[in-house]
């Protein structure tokens, strides 16, 4: 009887431990967003940067270091990167970082990472016709979500 109880207790403890850790990971990384004055929703910690001439990866890392951000993705083919503050920022902090990034001569454009939500109000929308939430703010990046991330054949790297 003891031989059966010990493995059962250990299994239950391991299951509860894993379930507890999974729940904690979700709670630690909530998808925090901010709604701007125009009603558009954006990430409270992530920025999309279009890089000019030069090495995309080297520039992305230098920008991240200079502005105390973290490199999330580097898209070499598109000469873009995604940088993160690693914490939730206020709208004022977000705006200040975008302005600082735009002052850098290596940056063609810098913008907040806007959130796109698909729901029943867009039943005919397809992945090739969905545009960024703010396409007029940056004419350089007027590409569809699907085309820019899948069809371009981009090379990307993820770093921490």
Kindly give, in sequence order, each residue whose CB lies less than 8 Å from that of residue 44, ignoring residues fewer than 6 positions away.
32, 33, 34, 88, 89, 90, 94
Listed in order, strand segments (DSSP E) in the chain are 33-35, 41-51, 70-75, 80-84, 107-114, 156-158
Dump pLDDT digits (tens) for 97-109: 999 999 999 999 9
Domain extents in the chain: 33-118+125-158
CA dihedral (123, 125, 126, 131) positive or negative:
negative
CATH hierarchy code of domain 33-118+125-158: 3.30.70.80
Instruction: Give the predicted TM-score (pTM) of the model.
Output: 0.55
Dump pLDDT digits (tens) for 17-44: 443 333 333 345 545 777 777 777 878 8
Instruction: For tokens 């010990």, name the residue.
Output: 6
């Amino acid at each position: 009887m003891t031989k059966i109880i010990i493995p059962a207790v250990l299994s239950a403890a391991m299951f509860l431990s894993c379930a507890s850790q999974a729940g904690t990971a979700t709670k630690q990384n909530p998808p925090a967003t901010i709604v701007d004055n125009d009603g558009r929703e954006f990430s409270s910690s992530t920025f999309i940067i279009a890089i000019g001439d030069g090495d995309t990866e080297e520039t992305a890392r230098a920008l991240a270091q200079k502005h105390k951000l973290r490199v999330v993705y580097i898209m070499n083919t598109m000469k873009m990167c995604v940088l993160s503050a690693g914490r939730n920022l206020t709208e004022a902090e977000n705006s200040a970082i975008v302005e600082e990034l735009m002052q850098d001569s290596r940056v063609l454009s810098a913008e907040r990472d806007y959130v796109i939500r698909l729901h029943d109000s867009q039943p005919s929308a397809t992945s090739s016709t969905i545009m960024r939430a703010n396409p007029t703010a940056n004419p350089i990046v007027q590409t569809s979500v699907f085309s820019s991330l899948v069809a371009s054949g981009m090379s990307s790297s993820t770093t921490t």
